[in-house]
Amino acid sequence: MTKNETKQVVIVGGGTAGWLTAASLAKRFNSVEKKNIQITLVESPDIPTIGVGEGTWPTMRKTLASLGISETDFMRQCHVSLKQATKFVNWKETPKPGIDNHYYHLFTSFHDANDFNMAPYWQRGEIGQTATFAQSVSVQGALCDKYLAPKSMTNKEYEGVQNYAYHLDAGEFAKLLKDHAINNLGVKHVSANVTEVKLDVDGYILAVETDTASHISGDLFVDCTGFRCLLLGEALKVPFNSVDDTLLTDYAVVMQVPYKDETQDIASCTISTAQEAGWIWDIGLANRRGTGYVYSSKHSSHERAEQILREYVGEQSAGLKARFIPMNIGYREKFWHKNCVAIGLSAAFIEPLEASAIFLMEAANNMLMELFPRDRAAMAMVETKYNDSLMFRWNKTIDFIKMHYLLSRRSEPFWLDNRTQTTLPVSLTNLLARWEYHPVSGYDFDNVYEPFPLESYQYILYGMGFEQDLSFNAGQYGNITHAQQSFKKIQSIADQVQHKLPTNRQLLEKIQQFGFQKL
Amino acid sequence: MDINHTLIIGGGTAGWLSAAILATELRSTQPDGVKITLIESPDIPILGVGEGTWPNLRATLKKIGVSESDFIQQCDATFKQGAEFVNWRKNTTNEPHRYFHPLNTVNHSSYNFSLAPYWLQQDEETRLPYDLAVSTQPRLCNQGLGPKPITMAQYNGAQEYAYHLDASKFAMFLKKHCIDKLGINFISANVTSIALDSDEFIDHVTTDHDELKTVHADFFIDCSGAKGIIIKQTYNIGWNNINDVIFNDTALAVQVPYLNENTKVKTHTLATAQDAGWIWDIGLRHRRGVGHVYSSKYISDEAAKAQLIAYIGEDYSDDLMIRKIKLNHGYHTKFWHKNSVAIGMSAGFIEPLEASAIFLFDAAANMIASQFPRRRDALSYCEESFNKHFTVRMERSIEFIKLHYCISDRTDTPYWRDNCDPVSIPKRLQQRLTFWKNQPPTKYDFDNAWEPFNLDSYLYVLYGMNYNTDLTQVKAKYNKYEQAQQLFGHVDEASKLLLNKLPEQTALIDKVNTYGFNRI
């Protein structure tokens, strides 16, 4: 037996981050057996969860399956709809009256671009002369255009005809995870407010004091206290680094919008529409839409922001209440310090443009579980590895989001300010300089845990109309026949698949009635 | 300024393999492709060791358009399914310690599900050795079976495989293909000087050729071996010496014909540890390539030679020529500089314990081709990216080689004791080994996409060497016993099936040499 073995994990804070972490750890360590590592979650009865963050990545399917949650139950309880893409509207340029511009960032590409890269052929006009890049390399845009689902009722749980993720009700999702964690996975739940964090002489957390449940000691503490960052920030004094010099948005005004009636189409992608000082998300759940305008308060008054959101929603916004949320964009200097790790908003927050929040929680959980330190002596090594890897992922996420702004040709002051040199990360401008004359290559991404794959960069670059000149190296792209055949095949699959898939709404209604086949 | 013409200086495996890859990818035969010239000295013989390869060579050979049968026939190639390490641990019984580092990840990959923690929890007295427990391939190697039946299409395998080959013949084979099929312009001459422009970019080279006194190009590849005509002699790029990590500085190499033509040809490389180094043993169809790699600080050349002769045994005769080769371990502080890049021994050298040399040439040429800068203003990005990548690849390769030595419990000679001295172990490897004392390596330890040795390789060596990972305190997180049992069972079943189905390596090679594979 070594001293300071990690036997008790204390998670402070509920919400998606807290309960997802609790459920993941408890499932992995089989905490229902009392001899195994035990998980306690302390949640304040007084602090409501923020409850936005309604988009996920396809990784969530694997996460839920591994937690032993049925996809049918999850979809019913959390009002889930299936997401196949993000549609970026009016990002490319300020729209001319009545004429919107848009492009897709899709989850499925026909070829893995590391095996065969279609981009140079599309770019050089050898395939799909009139087709967009997304149409040339994937069938999924065609499905989104028609509000179709990525699967039908005959597909099993978590299996799709096309790759997909979810739109979900974040409040319900936290509840689902909470019930599952407490009732099935052996997580101990304490409803109390933390009043004090006790440190030992080495600066490790010993215990937290609470108002109603006395004192809870542990060996490893997970800070899921949101923006407050009670443990890592307040108690351990790990400073916060703002990235407001790179990402300029600092506020969101949000509104939940009911469907007009029971026939209104449910989008099978997140719709992100650029506005004069930010952008509006529009996420169609099974029972309502969630919308929000993310903006820069330096470039827009709050009144103007609300007005823009109401205009976007249209007449349905009448009588609906708008909620304002200040956003503190940035991250902690480190996420793991001594025996404390922050997951969720307490670790970092960046605007939800690419729905990376929940994805990064999953990534953090996976790494925490896999590297789980046996005792205090093993923590230092894990701390370094974890911080390096997560810092890398956050930085690349920031770069990727910034790229959307940088490539835009919109002309309002907010957009112009977004393109000034001082706001641009060098890591991003270096890559873009390279891509002006070269296709995006697997060699541009040398970390396995790169949050956004090569294909994601392609969708954004070409969707935004990034100008790339490959002419001087045309000789390298000689596999024209293969590219043309692939293109034809994609078009014919798109035609076939459209007739086989139900609409998102049809599928969701059927799930309410029947549910999917279990795995 | 456009880059339309590349000059490769030096033939050999590195030069011709790079030429073939670049010519294919950059479409040298097309008017808008990149023209490639290779200049090779008629006076310098090819070093011609480095007879082991990695599976990626199959994809490369296929890509450059050669048939596997032609390759096997002309390069005396045989199939390689892994390496077996003998005597790398203390000898506690009458039998020496041995373990395999197989190439297979066909059945399952530890990236998806790692069996290591479940193996670690089995009873040490009764469990199978790690290699046998998780891979089918050691059993096949023990029986000398080939990785595929003759009916399987070329380059496909029932098991993952690479090759053993005659390096001189391989260079000749590639040379012929490059000149006949891939449009490479060949000059047989010595480079006499390198001429730089005012920005210190290479402008042209001068030669001792009767007519072609100067050769201009836009981009230059240094494959001139240890000489380093560009990287060392022209640019004087710094050198990272690693003699304090990898001690071996000399090799004695010999080609040993089989006394009996019916000798079963091994389907794996043998690496047998000695008092102050190790002996490689690679089976081609008609001869073996055998060599002793050792440190002259710890053993005299005579004693090393005596050990080599003793190892070869009855196949040895006094008329065999033993060649002595000085090894200079290390790598340059950068490989790409201005409009030039070094591939091969000019870039760096690591002993052949894991046969990484040809793999690294192949990887380098593929990366250069994939990112090929067609304009001078694109060079700096490629330079930075390539140097970063290859520094990682060299560092990680060295760590992996060192791993074989530094977790040994051999204490019988100063060579082995010094190899385990922490001062000789790279810091990063030390940290990893400390971490792995309490949990097996995971995919998070391998976050570089271009990691030359992956998680599976580390697991084979660590647990082949019985590295002591104490799981007691983190046991709880490994609770997928059922799935683990299934996978262990699958390895066992698949092994039985394969043992029945696969032909002997010798018979398979003879058939390939007579009939060839299906060309698909």
What confidence tens digit (pLDDT) does each residue in B41-77 have?
Answer: 998 776 666 689 999 999 999 999 999 999 999 999 9
> How much is the pLDDT for B74?
95
Q: How far apart are CA B114 and CA B458, in angstroms?
A: 12
Report the alpha-carbon distance of residue A10 to residue A17 in Å, rounded.
13
**CA–CA dist A381, B432 (Å, integer):** 9
Q: What are the tokens at A110?
A: 């026909």
pLDDT of residue B278: 98
Residue count of chain B: 520
Residues A54, A70: Cα–Cα separation, whole Å? 19
Q: Is the pLDDT of residue A1 over 50?
A: no
pLDDT at A318 over 60: yes
Distance, CA of B419 to CA of B412 (rounded, Å): 12
- Residue A37 contacts B where some CB pair is shorter than 8 Å: yes
Average pLDDT over residues A437-447: 90
- Rounded distance, CA A149 to CA A266, Å? 10
Residue A327 has pLDDT above 80, yes or no: yes
Determine the Cα–Cα distance for residues B378 and B1; give it in Å rounded to an integer.
Answer: 10
| Chain A residues close to B367, C-beta within 8 Å | 443
Rounded CA-CA distance A268/A150 in Å is 8
pLDDT at B39: 97
C-alpha distances (whole Å) from A461 to each of A102, A454, A457, B453 are: 13, 11, 6, 33
Q: Does domain A8-79+166-240+329-397 have CATH number 3.50.50.60?
A: yes
Residue B124 exposed, middle or buried by CB count within 10 Å (0-12, 13-18, 19+): exposed
Distance CA A355, CA A342 (A): 19
Whether B30 contacts chain A with CB within 8 A: yes
Interface probe for B, chosen from A374, A386, A390 (most Cβ of B below 10 Å), is A374
Give the count of alpha carbons within 13 A of B487, CB side only: 22
Single-letter amino acid code for the residue at B77: A
Cα angle A131-A136-A138, degrees, rounded to a multiple of 5: 130
Are B247 and B273 contacting, i.e. CB atoms less than 8 angstroms apart? no
Which among A105, A99, A102 has a CA at the least distance from the CA of A91?
Answer: A102
| Burial of A303 (C-beta count, 10 Å sphere; 0-12/13-18/19+) | exposed
Alpha-carbon gap, residue A282 to A297, rounded angstroms: 20
pLDDT at residue A3, rounded to an integer: 62
Stretch B374-392: mean pLDDT: 91
Please state, in angstroms and rounded to a whole number, the distance separating the CA atoms of residues A19 and A177: 6
The answer to whether the Cβ–Cβ distance between A370 and B443 falls below 8 Å is yes
| A238-to-A14, A241, A332, A346, A347 alpha-carbon distances in Å | 21, 10, 7, 11, 10
pLDDT at A281: 96
- pLDDT at residue A53 above 70? no
Task: Report helix, strand or coil for B399.
Answer: helix
CA distance B212 to B139: 56
Q: Is the pLDDT of residue B520 over 60?
A: no
**Average of pLDDT values for B229-254?**
96
Please check the confidence at residue B327 and state whether its pLDDT lies above 70: yes
- At A214, the pLDDT band (50, 70, 90 cuts) reads confident
**Contact call for B33 and A447, based on CB within 8 A:** no
CA pair distance A348, A341, nearest whole angstrom: 12
Using CB atoms, pick whichever of B26, B27, B447 lies closest to residue A448.
B447
pLDDT at B70: 95
**SS3 category, B413:** coil
Residue A17 contacts residue A53 (beta carbons within 8 Å): no
- For residues A361 and A466, what is the distance between their CA atoms, to the nearest angstrom? 31
**CA-nearest residue of chain A to B382?**
A434
Chain B partners within 8 Å of A474 (Cβ)? 32
CATH 3.30.300.180 fits A87-165+246-327+470-500, yes or no: no
Which residue, B446, B147, B469, is CA-closest to A378? B469
pLDDT tens string A337-365: 999 999 999 999 989 999 998 999 999 99
Q: Give me the mean pLDDT over the B129-141 stretch.
A: 95
Do B24 and B362 form a contact (C-beta atoms < 8 A)?
no
d(C-alpha B413, C-alpha B297), whole Å: 12
Q: Is residue B350 exposed (0-12), middle (13-18) or buried (19+ Cβ within 10 Å)? A: buried
Q: What is the mean pLDDT of the segment spanning B285-311? A: 96
Torsion, Cα of B324, B329, B334, B335 (10° steps): 30
Q: Chain A within 8 Å of B520 (Cβ-Cβ)?
A: no
Confidence check: pLDDT of B381 > 80: yes
B2 touches A at CB < 8 Å: yes
At B105, the pLDDT band (50, 70, 90 cuts) reads low
Closest Cβ–Cβ partner in B367, B431, B442 for A370: B442
Confidence of residue B378 (pLDDT cuts 50, 70, 90): confident
B112 and chain A in contact, CB less than 8 A: no
DSSP 8-state symbol, A342: E
Neighbours of A370 (CB within 10 A): 16
> How would you list the strands of the sheet with A102-106, edge to edge?
A102-106, A85-89, A270-275, A278-284, A288-295, A251-258, A323-326
Task: Tell me if A473 and B374 make a contact (CB, 8 A cut-off).
Answer: yes
Q: Answer whether A292's CB lies under 8 Å from A304's CB.
A: no
pLDDT digits (tens, 9 = 90+) for A216-248: 999 999 999 999 999 999 999 999 999 999 999
Flag whether residue B6 sits within 8 Å of chain A, measured between CB atoms.
Answer: no
E-strand spans in A371-470? none
Give the per-residue pLDDT at A113.
85
Which residues from A are below 8 Å from B479, CB to CB? 28-30
Query: If you count them, how many residues does chain A have?
Result: 519
Contacts of B274 (CB under 8 A, 6+ apart): B87, B292, B294, B304, B307, B311
Task: Give the Cα separation of B283 and A173 in Å (integer).
Answer: 61
Q: A110-146 pLDDT, tens per residue?
A: 888 888 899 999 988 888 778 999 999 999 999 999 9
Q: Given an 8 Å threshold on Cβ–Cβ distance, is B385 in contact with A5?
A: no
What is the percentage of chain B residues whose pLDDT exceeds 90?
82
- Name chain B contacts of A6, Cβ cutoff 8 Å: 473
CA distance B246 to B354: 13
Question: Taking the model in full, what pTM does it have?
Answer: 0.83
CB neighbours (10 Å) of residue A514?
A: 10
pLDDT at B104 over 80: no
pLDDT tens digit string along A462-490? Answer: 999 999 998 877 777 888 899 999 999 99
Q: Which residue has the higher pLDDT, A62 or A477?
A: A62
What is d(CA B271, CA B278) in angstroms, rounded to the nearest whole number? 6
With contacts defined as CB-CB under 8 Å, which chain B residues touch A382? 435
Q: How confident is the model at residue A52 (pLDDT cuts 50, 70, 90)?
A: low
Interface mutation vs chain B, best among A473, A477, A479, A480, most B CBs within 10 Å:
A473
pLDDT of B49 reads 66
Residues B298-302: contacts with CB under 8 Å, at least 24 apart: B298/B247, B298/B413, B298/B414, B298/B415, B299/B275, B299/B415, B301/B250, B301/B252
Assess contact for A75 and A90: CB atoms under 8 A: no
C-alpha B259/C-alpha B443 separation (Å) is: 46
- Return the active site residues of A: 83
Cα dihedral A242/A247/A251/A253 (nearest 10):
-150
**CB nearest B473 (choices: A30, A375, A434):** A375
Mean pLDDT, chain B, integer: 93
Q: Is the Cβ of A441 closer than 8 Å to some Cβ of chain B?
A: yes
Q: How far apart are CA A277 and CA A297, in angstroms?
A: 8
Interhelix angle for B56-64 vs B356-370, to 10°?
Answer: 50
What are the strands of the beta sheet with A330-332, ordered from one edge?
Answer: A240-242, A330-332, A348-349
pLDDT of residue A259: 94
Phi, psi of B407 (to 5 degrees): -105, 15
Q: Is the pLDDT reported for residue A316 higher than 60?
A: yes
Query: In this predicted structure, what is the pLDDT of residue B480?
Result: 85
Which two three-digit tokens encode residue A134?
Answer: 């997304």
CB contact under 8 A, B444 and A378: no
d(CA A275, CA A304): 11
Q: How far is CA A12 from the centre of its chain?
A: 22
Rounded average pLDDT over B423-448: 92
pLDDT at A290: 94
Under 8 Å between Cβ of B131 and B116: no
In which residue ranges of chain A is CATH 3.50.50.60 found?
Answer: 8-79+166-240+329-397, 87-165+246-327+470-500
Q: Are A236 and A357 in contact (CB under 8 A)?
A: no
- In tens, the pLDDT along B152-196 reads 999 999 999 999 999 999 999 999 999 999 999 999 999 999 999
Checking if the pLDDT of A305 tops 90, the result is yes
pLDDT of the residue at A177 = 97
Q: Of A384, A393, A448, A477, which to mutate for an interface test with B (greatest number of B Cβ within 10 Å)?
A: A448
